[in-house]
Chain A
């Protein structure tokens, strides 16, 4: 069975349907449907994500200066990424083609704080239970409390890394949430000497823990090399920002696209005209669009974004410890870990280490204490901001009228970029692990492990008590329930 053929079954009416809805530990509304024949062979596997196309409507009609605050409410997981991407787009609208050194460094500090806390959350809370205990271990144990029971130091480090990242955000954005620190044209506050001193006291411990986390992932790879190497793995084109000299840069750069065979599709492209390189395909069965490189077309031009792409496609990482770990990662297992879907976890921890080192370097820069906060220039009618958010490339694009109102908004989030790649990942899991077998919770968790590697954030900040029960339903072709698994 070819993974690519599992997108659409030939005779779905004869098949029974398995629905995993929503995916546990994946934000928002995610659902996986599997169509199985009577011999338990998987004939179709699809990841459905209810994308909030209301994003654009939520923003349109608002004064542009409100947007950097409002967009934080799109996502309770990575609000800082939306905050900064919006500001980068609106910098262009207010004519701030170059920020003051203080403004750019404060924003970078905020961004690296966000990367640190988000990657720590993903690894320690969402993924380490699967990796430490096994994909089909007892579901009651497979969570952060289970990790804390057996690996208390690791669990504590995860909590404190999160806390430190939040403190960086609080000092730079003004508040823990709903921050207003970044504004079109610059920032509205710099650091005080006391704030810098407070952050400096802990940063060396944070770097040490981040380095330990990289090594822990490496050990996990070494222990389960055969399965990690192949789990949900497939070749993919890639997209990321890189600095002008090819370095990893999560805040700013040009667009680099590489083909699965390593050749360059485009490089150092100004993201201001991203749509000349990227388009979005629509499929009848999915609410979410499927981005692709125009040069390759919708069938072959899909690509992957995020930590694995960034770490493997940059030429180097501009902080020494992370760069050393990157080189080790690229060389490990003759380069195969860097191609593996579970390599996302290793790359994510390398980025967390880079973020910690970048925070340390920034905290030693006196520009953070400066008072020259704002830049401006000739007003423009539109702006594009691109940032490498924790989960991947994030594009904000606005058009603003003469009354300062946003009249058009387009957002492409990392989960959308990775739509096809995540679908291929679950099809690969279906082929490798589920085909021909009776489904169990442990087997179905393999699907979730594959999706979680990408860390999709479905931008649903709603989490009211009782809002997200997880059920796995086995239905027949007519939709009648045959069996059900309920978690929690």
Chain B
């Protein structure tokens, strides 16, 4: 990393070719197009240990992901460090990324929260479901507002 990082980081995860798993990348794409000042967008298939280093120097980090069993259309979740490694495999939860941050940086992470948008189907090759399309619109308004109001 070089230079001063943008104060707000939006870390969106998901696979654009797995149905509603595309919610995260779709929101990231809109946010990048909006080019809000002070906001950086990173998209990845899934969270990993090295994402802990992307959090360095931020004031606010927003994780964006599709959620299974999430209340429609979306939920805001507070995120705090937790060694929550056990319900996923190669991928990490946002809480686990923060826990990794704490351990490797020996300091508390920046303020973080997660925008979890309800997903319905996650099949390879599937497109965004009609329901998720509606959730996307609602989540976009919330995400844009959160970034602009920081």
Contacts and interface: CB of A to CB of B under 8 A. Distances in A.
Contacts of A143: 83, 85-86, 96
B20 to A, nearest CB: 8
Contacts of A176: 42, 44
A306 interface: no
A23 B50 contact: no
Contact of A470 (B86, B104, B106, B125): B86
Interface string B68-95: 1110000000000001111111110100
Band of interface residues on B: 35 or more
A179 to B, nearest CB: 12
Contacts of A22: 89
A177 B44 CA distance: 6
Contact of B124 (A54, A177, A470): A54
A139 B65 CA distance: 27
Interface in A452-488: 457, 461-470, 487-488
A52 interface: yes
B14 interface: yes
Interface in A116-170: 121, 124-126, 139-140, 143-146, 148-149, 152, 155-156, 158-160, 162-163, 166
Contacts of B100: 144-145, 148, 155, 159
B136 to A, nearest CB: 14
A57 B17 CA distance: 13
Interface in B21-56: 21, 42-50, 52-53
B83 A54 contact: no
B68 A467 contact: yes
A177 B43 contact: yes
A163 B90 CA distance: 15
Contacts of B67: 464-466
Given A58-B124, A145-B103, A463-B91, A162 B48 contact: yes
A55 B125 CA distance: 9
B8 interface: no
Contacts of A162: 48-50
B125 A465 contact: no
A488 B89 contact: no
A124 B85 CA distance: 13
Contacts of A148: 100, 103-104
A160 B48 CA distance: 12
Contact of A76 (B46, B86, B87, B96): B46
A466 B69 contact: yes
Nearest to B106: A152
A83 B119 CA distance: 27
A26 B89 contact: yes
A77 interface: yes
B83 A146 contact: yes
B99 interface: yes
B128 interface: no
Interface residues of A, number: 55
Contact of B68 (A139, A177, A461, A466): A466
Contacts of B103: 144-145, 148-149, 152, 155
A343 interface: no
A419 interface: no
A362 interface: no
Contact of A467 (B47, B122, B123): B122
A461 B18 contact: yes
A126 B90 contact: yes
B93 to A, nearest CB: 7
Contacts of B14: 464
B124 A74 contact: yes
Contacts of A467: 68, 122
A163 B53 contact: yes
Nearest to A52: B124
B116 interface: yes
A27 interface: yes
A464 B89 contact: no
Contact of B53 (A25, A58, A159): A159
Nearest to B116: A465
Contacts of B48: 121, 162
Contacts of A54: 123-125
Nearest to B83: A145
A70 interface: yes
Interface string A167-200: 0000000001110000000000000000000000
Contacts of B53: 159, 163
Contacts of A74: 124
A155 B43 CA distance: 24
B89 A28 contact: yes
A470 B87 contact: yes
29 contacts: A23-B89, A25-B88, A27-B89, A27-B91, A52-B124, A55-B124, A57-B125, A73-B124, A76-B44, A76-B46, A121-B49, A140-B83, A149-B103, A152-B106, A155-B100, A159-B52, A159-B104, A162-B48, A162-B49, A176-B44, A461-B21, A463-B45, A464-B21, A465-B66, A465-B93, A466-B67, A466-B68, A466-B70, A488-B84
Q: Which 7 A-B pairs have the closest CB atoms?
A: A76-B45, A148-B103, A488-B87, A488-B86, A143-B85, A73-B17, A145-B83
Given A28-B89, A177-B43, 10 more contacts: A55-B124, A70-B17, A121-B48, A125-B90, A152-B106, A163-B50, A461-B45, A463-B47, A464-B67, A466-B87
